[in-house]
Structure 1
Amino acid sequence: MNPDSIRTGSRVPHGGETDRDLLDFSANTNPRTPDGVGDVYAAALEESRRYPDDDYPDYRAAAAAFVGCDPARVIPTPGGLAAIRLAMEAALEPGDEVLVPYPSFGEYAREVELQGAEPRFVRYDDLFEMGPTVLEACALAVVCTPNNPTGDAVDPDTLEAFAARCADADTTLLVDEAFLGFTDRPSAAEFERENVVVARSLTKLFGLPGLRAGFAVASGERRDALATARRAWSLGTPAARVGAHCLRQAEFVRDTRARVALERERMRDALGERFDVHESDAPYLLCDVGDRDVATVIDDARAAGVAIRDATTFRALDSHVRVAVKDRGANDRLLAALGVRNREDANGETE
């Protein structure tokens, strides 16, 4: 990390509401957690009197099975953002250029700048059309799939073709799959390309943002570099044990995907009566409020007991909010707070 960049850097705004009296739709986390988490955590807390096994064999095995790779390729990290930083620390030097999509997660540009490198911004929709002239000038390119905040998921064939072009240009490709678990799309970990690093988070899918568990996946010499650079004991025992437990809950994941897909479409139809709503493969919806004042929309929702995300903090979005997709009851409260009525079927029940 570059000391001069740290001195001139700043924090990035995020979702997440601290007022416990508000229903929080500003952070895109699952409102449910897998059964048994409490018991696993309690047992792990007792075992925390010892240092964890720094190899994390059980956690790595669970993570590898989840994304479809060899456990040796998994590098445990305290959250997906830690995997992103680790990948950038290992790949970047001061003065390097990095291809960063927008609108997308604000931490990418911040992490690039903290390394003393320079973000080269490109519209997310144009990212996968970049050719050798652009890629050869960049030490690293970032992809978020599904993208935050738009919810666009990249077609696997498109992503693999882009990874191949990055390899030809000697460009590292960092694929952030923080929300990919909400879809049935395969992980880029299956590419097994040495120029590709995958970052995964357990925060969103398993509803445990405070646990701080994630991992990176890499191959060959790049995997070796990340494994060497990783901090010792990078996961606490509770995070490692609970994380491994969650990653093996296949039925929970299937149920979550089905619920989110159903509720997302229902919410999109309802919100579309008032806002321009972006198509999404993620557990959130990006809404263009048009000529309404974004701050007023947010304040009105807050007055009704619901916190939503101000999406104007994302590059190139000046009239947008983002809302999470949760359980039906909570989602209905959101719709009401935004002044959207649920349509009723012939039996008088909400559709």
Structure 2
Amino acid sequence: MTENTPSLPVKEHLLKFEPSAHGGLIRKNSQKYAIPESEILDASASLNPFGTPFEYPYTGLVLRNLLDKGLEKMEQYPDNRYLEFKEAAARFTGLGTRPENIIPGNGSTEIIRLVAECVIGKGDVVLIPQPTFSEYEVQCKVLGATIRYIRQEDLLQLDGSVLDEAKMIFVCNPNNPTGRLLNREQVKAIADKCARHRTILFLDEAFIELADPSQSVADMVEGNEYLFIQRSLTKAFAIPGIRMGFGIAGTRLAKVLDNARLSWNLGCIADTVATALLNMEGGVNSKYLKDSRDFIRGERDYLMQKLNRRGFKPIESTVNYIYVDISGFSMDSTELTERLAAHGVLIRDCSSFQESGKDHIRVAVRTREENKRIVDTIRLVVSEWGSDKADSTLHDNLAKAAESGRLGSNLSCDYYPCHFEGQDCTFCFCPFYPCKDERTGGQWVESSAGGKVWSCLYCEMVHRPEIVDDMLSVLTEKGISEESVKEAWKKAMGSRL
């Protein structure tokens, strides 16, 4: 932009505005890595791994029939009252909710924007616990709100003075991305405190059907005009391409929000499909959703166990995704995510969540076959990364050694001494790996994934100064090749084994 470039006729704070980062980018990664969309496994979007209700005949739902029924109304505007939808949503919660408490929504993002538009003015303070769903921040920033971050751990001990300054607070339960679920009594305590300080509690229960719907507080809205609850259908029923959800609020607040929402925000297909899903016998405790929760529990336990490996610390979850601390791993979340995507497996890089840095990933729970693929691909990527790192370090160290000889002990390394005090670290990564010669002290050990893997833990040879000198005399002159490595082995190891 130059001085003569005319300014855009928009709010100034939007000129530097950036949208949220989300998972589910199948097409984008297909184009980037030239992998067919059908071959990509998406573990970045947290959808019900049990599949859609249309895959289970016992639900009585046939998608083709619902699409045909919805398309019959394609040539007319939807009934903006959405009476059948509201009645079905009220029954679905199973907590005495009434149709007049329901606000139809075109998915979570639209509902967040609706409430923010109706409550927040420019400069109003909004509290957002960290880390959590980034759309809360984005939608409030569009309206010029002032965002103040608090820690998830502080939600149950919120200071009244902090609430006094805030117009609204967002609480995701279970939380995205951590998977932590607050129980009813804990949420009630937060809601009561917010009401006393006249702060709107925006409670996002988008994943509660897949965690524990008995912890919902949907029955508390009528007695608390400062409580708003969001529910999303796309996660529980695994159909994110049909945008649908609803809000729950006390009668007076619900009427205001329903009047203010965009007219006809549910099209004929979304209205028809959503109403049918909500009308499933049992609601949140339908056989389909009960089976889903059982399925998720078993696959989550399996995936947690498999992800619990060196450098990976999966956090206990109550829902269909796992937040993993990889701060003890040598690869950051962005590089790990990109390397996995190159192999057709998408996970969520959590660096876009507030204060997660590049130390966390989120992995969606999938089917057993898909979970095995996720674990196997992580193992492959780690192996490839190790090989790349070894190759890079080996060449860098050889270049340094060519000028000044062996490098000696690397005292700044977190792992020093990995073999013995005073070891030489020129060949941190051994060019002979895997030599498979047990005379060196190396040995075959059981792999955590099953099978055997070659371990150098008890081999000290390439860290002895005299052996390093013999190896360098060959490798610094001839470089790294299959032939030069064989020659270096013969010179350095041949007479010593």
Q: TM-score, normalised by structure 2?
A: 0.66
Partner amino acid for 2:17? G
Partner amino acid for 1:260? I
Partner amino acid for 2:67? Y
Which protein has greater RCO, CA pairs closer than 8 Å, 6+ apart?
Answer: 1
Partner amino acid for 2:230? A
Q: 1:137, CA displacement in angstroms?
A: 0.6
Q: Is 2:133 aligned against 1:105?
A: yes
Note the aligned Cα RMSD (angstroms): 1.8
Partner amino acid for 1:51? Y
Partner amino acid for 1:283? N
Q: Is 2:53 aligned against 1:24?
A: no
Aligned partners of 1:76 and 1:235 also within 8 Å: yes
Q: Is 2:292 aligned against 1:256?
A: yes
Query: Helix, strand or coil: the match of 1:141?
Result: strand
Can you give the 5+ residue segments of structure 1 that lack an aligned partner in the other structure? Answer: 345-351
Q: 1:241, CA displacement in angstroms?
A: 0.9
Partner of 2:354: 315
After superposition, the C-alpha distances for 1:80-123 in whole angstroms (9 at most, x for unaligned) are 12111111111111111011111111111111111111111001
Query: Helix, strand or coil: the match of 1:326?
Result: coil
Q: Distance in 1 between matches of 2:241 and 2:68?
A: 15
Q: Distance in 1 between matches of 2:274 and 2:13?
A: 33
Q: 1:151, CA displacement in angstroms?
A: 0.6
Q: Distance in 2 between matches of 1:296 and 1:113?
A: 29
Q: Is 2:240 aligned against 1:222?
A: no
Partner of 1:42: 68
Partner of 2:52: 33
Partner of 2:210: 182
Number of paired residues?
343
Q: Distance in 1 between matches of 2:279 and 2:254?
A: 24
Partner amino acid for 1:254? K
Q: 1:248, CA displacement in angstroms?
A: 3.0
Aligned partners of 1:41 and 1:238 also within 8 Å: yes
Partner of 1:9: 17
Q: Distance in 1 between matches of 2:138 and 2:287?
A: 36
Pick closer, same or farther for the CA change 1:5–1:61 going to 2, 3 Å: farther
Q: Distance in 1 between matches of 2:42 and 2:105?
A: 26
Partner amino acid for 1:239? A
Deviates more, 1:306-315 or 1:158-167: 306-315
Deviates more, 1:34-43 or 1:124-133: 34-43
Partner of 1:288: 325
Partner of 1:347: none
Deviates more, 1:31-40 or 1:58-67: 31-40
Pick closer, same or farther for the CA change 1:226–1:5 going to 2, 3 Å: farther
Query: Helix, strand or coil: the match of 2:379?
Result: coil
Partner of 1:279: 316
Partner of 2:123: 95
Partner of 1:328: 368
Aligned partners of 1:335 and 1:342 also within 8 Å: no
Q: 1:188, CA displacement in angstroms?
A: 2.4
Q: Distance in 1 between matches of 2:14 and 2:91?
A: 37
Choose from 220, 226, 234 the match for 1:195. 226
Deviates more, 1:153-162 or 1:23-32: 23-32
Identity %, equivalent residues: 34
Alignment of 1:103-252 (within 5 A): 103-185=131-213, 186-192=215-221, 193-249=224-280, 250-252=286-288
Partner of 1:348: none
Query: Helix, strand or coil: the match of 1:217?
Result: strand
Aligned partners of 2:229 and 2:249 also within 8 Å: yes
Q: 1:3, CA displacement in angstroms?
A: 3.1
Partner amino acid for 2:355? A
Q: Distance in 1 between matches of 2:166 and 2:126?
A: 5
Partner amino acid for 2:47? T
Pick closer, same or farther for the CA change 1:342–1:242 going to 2, 3 Å: farther
Q: 1:343, CA displacement in angstroms?
A: 6.4
Aligned partners of 1:178 and 1:199 also within 8 Å: yes
Q: Distance in 2 between matches of 1:311 and 1:292?
A: 16
After superposition, the C-alpha distances for 1:155-175 in whole angstroms (9 at most, x for unaligned) are 110110110000000111000
Partner amino acid for 1:105? F
Q: Is 2:79 aligned against 1:53?
A: yes
Can you give the 5+ residue segments of structure 2 that lack an aligned partner in the other structure? Answer: 1-9, 31-36, 55-61, 281-285, 381-446, 451-497
Choose from 55, 69, 73 the match for 2:101. 73
Aligned partners of 2:100 and 2:251 also within 8 Å: no
Pick closer, same or farther for the CA change 1:115–1:303 going to 2, 3 Å: closer
After superposition, the C-alpha distances for 1:262-316 in whole angstroms (9 at most, x for unaligned) are 1111111111124100111121111122232223322332343211111111111
Aligned partners of 1:25 and 1:324 also within 8 Å: yes
Partner amino acid for 1:202? L
Q: Distance in 2 between matches of 1:102 and 1:184?
A: 22
Q: 1:199, CA displacement in angstroms?
A: 1.1
Q: 1:5, CA displacement in angstroms?
A: 3.5
Query: Helix, strand or coil: the match of 1:9?
Result: coil
Aligned partners of 2:334 and 2:351 also within 8 Å: no
Aligned partners of 1:260 and 1:325 also within 8 Å: yes
Pick closer, same or farther for the CA change 1:6–1:188 going to 2, 3 Å: farther
Q: 1:40, CA displacement in angstroms?
A: 0.7
Q: 1:46, CA displacement in angstroms?
A: 2.4
Aligned partners of 1:104 and 1:314 also within 8 Å: yes
Partner amino acid for 1:153? L
Aligned partners of 2:205 and 2:231 also within 8 Å: yes
Pick closer, same or farther for the CA change 1:44–1:190 going to 2, 3 Å: same
Aligned partners of 2:211 and 2:318 also within 8 Å: yes
After superposition, the C-alpha distances for 1:227-267 in whole angstroms (9 at most, x for unaligned) are 11011111001101111112233221111111111111111
Partner of 1:85: 113
Partner amino acid for 1:50? Q
Aligned partners of 2:347 and 2:363 also within 8 Å: yes
Q: Distance in 2 between matches of 1:199 and 1:7?
A: 29
Q: 1:7, CA displacement in angstroms?
A: 3.4
Partner of 2:339: 300
Query: Helix, strand or coil: the match of 1:100?
Result: strand
